[in-house]
Chain A
């Protein structure tokens, strides 16, 4: 009897709580409209960088501009999916983190707000921004966004392993052939590091936007500005084969240790533990490596291939949604977040990357600044097309099979190229 009463009491309480909870959640959940407009600002940052953006947004909101900014963050691997859902349901953020290639659909489908008129009305100096990055944001005569950083690849090398093998350090003139030779020497000269195997080269060719640069280095390309797919050209095949050979000849580690299949840029285990002499990575990794690795390292530009030295340039920008309710306010925030002082704090000083404005360069660490200059000198913007995102994904899948030996380079690249041609045709006609 008592038990029955208890259960009844419990359920009644639950129901009451439920209604209360539902009530408060309903009320508290939806954005209560103050008199102030709100701008939603969406980014895809890792936790350390996110903190800096949170601080920036707080600073902005505290300065009483007549509107508030709300920060939204999604991890990079889910970011584009999230944007698509938001596009489909008309809930796009007002200002958001755009990356050329990945975001091409939004640019070319007219979903971004042209900012030329706002730039002219303000006294913004566009010349301070990195020209290659601004070019990414120009389309059919209009400007659609402003860069906050720039990235590319550089070659990292482990000084201690080079010393042990009795080799000279890589230089700015190095070619991929030099890399291969050095890798071979190191593997044969250096017995082991703390009882574990040594590799000459710690990762493989990246399968997304930087692949274009590597293809070009060997005479191939990804998709040309004439919309020709060259992923299965001989040059591209040679490029990929170079890296596959490194793996097959024991100069590079197995796929899981070389970061393949890891979505966030790869976990280069052998490099982190000092067992690989070289890797290709971006300047964003410098602060992490400075903090965590226990050996001395340095950087040089990406080596030249037989055809040319042409690593890819990319970077992040911020754009404004075409249908934003508050374009003026959105631009004001955009200008703020890409201003010299903000870029200095968020990007340069923190070591998160290379700031999109050249005036902020001097706030980087010497190593970062060195990397920045290399990239500015050698990297070429890659040509983004609609559907790039899907092509990168397909390419990544094929690379996985190529590097674990289940497919040959030709087979894999042919498959990617066929897919890419379909995508280009669907998006651009012809």
Chain B
């Protein structure tokens, strides 16, 4: 009896473990090994030791992509959190039409970035695009979205945030459901203003949800690819070449597999560090009721 119980948990892990070992772990090891090779796909891989790691430091493009990714993450993640909370709070309070509003905000999550990139590209056109058309009503002159460096980054962030808000809204809606009504009632009795209720009760009680959204969206935005690849191809110049687009380009345009693998490993470490930092920090502000 005792022997059987000791093995059972591992049996439950088998399905996941098999696929993990074969199709995640092993390729990761190979990817790691690849960082010490130079391989342009046409000749056999050549062992070069630390050449790729040196190249990473010497070449400007990794640092530049780090900078681009940083910009995107710092713009996108707070937007997703704030918009998610704002929309969730409003949708939560709506009587009728709750399902309607929820659907509207969730639809972008389902829409494929490839498909929507066509639409976005048309919308962001300088002279014939809808967005500039509407801006015209506010007397704002035509913005050079996709062709200018700052405009392109903004467009990518907007595209990404538009798509991700629905997910974060759902998490926050769930979080809101978990707040005891009693808290609101007593606040009401005490004569609290709505803004006080929001900042002193709602937000703190939402902190576990906020934490969850923060982690997931940070990890996601650090790896942003499809939105950039389909909307700007990393352009203009390299203005929107974030880390994963850079890796893709290094591998499939410059045929430098070893260097691409090296970039990938560093990105992974980065994501790990950022996540760990956030995880550690949670003690300071996350409030588990």
Contacts and interface: CB of A to CB of B under 8 A. Distances in A.
Nearest to B255: A84
Given A390-B254, A400-B147, A254 B127 contact: yes
A116 B264 CA distance: 44
11 contacts: A81-B252, A88-B39, A88-B257, A105-B255, A254-B126, A254-B144, A256-B147, A257-B128, A261-B236, A401-B237, A401-B239
B41 A393 contact: no
Interface string A177-198: 0000000000000000000010
Interface stretch (A35-43, A121-129, A403-411): A403-411
B241 to A, nearest CB: 8
Interface string B121-159: 000111111000000000000001111110000000000
Interface of B: 39-43, 124-129, 144-149, 232-239, 249, 252-255, 257
Contact of B233 (A84, A197, A257, A261): A261
B237 A407 contact: yes
Contacts of B39: 88
Contacts of B257: 88
Which 8 A-B pairs have CB atoms at the shortest separation, nearest pair first?
A400-B236, A255-B147, A401-B237, A81-B252, A109-B42, A88-B41, A404-B147, A254-B126
Interface in A383-430: 389-390, 393, 396-398, 400-401, 403-404, 406-407
A85 to B, nearest CB: 8
B249 A400 contact: no
A80 interface: yes
Contact of A269 (B40, B128, B234, B237): B128
A397 B249 CA distance: 12
Contacts of B253: 81, 389-390, 393
Contacts of B233: 261, 263
A9 to B, nearest CB: 21
Given A87-B42, A105-B42, A397-B238, A261 B146 contact: yes
Nearest to A108: B42
Contact of B249 (A253, A393, A401, A404): A393
Nearest to B127: A257
Contacts of A176: none
Most B-side CB within 10 Å, residue of A81, A197, A254, A404: A404
A282 to B, nearest CB: 21
A163 B40 CA distance: 54
A407 B235 CA distance: 14
Nearest to B147: A255
Contacts of A396: 235
A261 B43 contact: no
B127 A261 contact: no
Contacts of A397: 234-238
Contact of A87 (B41, B125, B254): B41
A396 B124 CA distance: 20
A45 interface: no
Contacts of A253: 127
Most A-side CB within 10 Å, residue of B126, B147, B255: B147
A111 interface: yes
Given A87-B42, A88-B41, A406-B149, A400 B237 contact: yes
Interface residues of A, number: 31
A113 interface: no
A406 B148 contact: yes
B233 to A, nearest CB: 7
A60 interface: no
B109 to A, nearest CB: 25
B148 A404 contact: yes
Nearest to B124: A256
Contacts of A87: 41-42
A256 B238 contact: no
Contacts of A403: 147
A84 B41 contact: yes
Given A393-B249, A401-B236, 19 more contacts: A80-B252, A81-B252, A84-B255, A87-B41, A87-B42, A88-B41, A253-B127, A254-B147, A255-B144, A257-B125, A260-B147, A261-B235, A261-B236, A269-B128, A390-B254, A397-B235, A398-B237, A400-B235, A401-B149
A169 interface: no
Contacts of A80: 252
Given A397-B237, A401-B237, A111 B42 contact: yes
Nearest to A105: B42
Given A81-B252, A109-B43, A406-B148, A261 B126 contact: no
Nearest to B41: A88
A336 interface: no
Interface string A246-269: 000000011111001101000001
B127 to A, nearest CB: 5
B84 to A, nearest CB: 31
B140 to A, nearest CB: 16
Nearest to B146: A256
B42 A106 contact: yes
B236 A404 contact: yes
Contact of B255 (A256, A390, A400, A407): A390
A256 B236 contact: no
Most A-side CB within 10 Å, residue of B39, B145, B149: B149
Contacts of B129: 256
A404 B144 contact: yes
A288 B125 CA distance: 22
Contacts of A404: 144, 147-149, 236
A313 B129 CA distance: 35
A261 B252 contact: no
Nearest to B241: A397
A84 B260 CA distance: 14
Given A109-B43, A257-B126, A397-B235, A84 B147 contact: no
A256 B252 contact: no
Most A-side CB within 10 Å, residue of B145, B249, B254: B254
Contacts of B127: 197, 253-254, 256-257, 269
Interface in A116-170: none
Contacts of B239: 401
A310 to B, nearest CB: 27
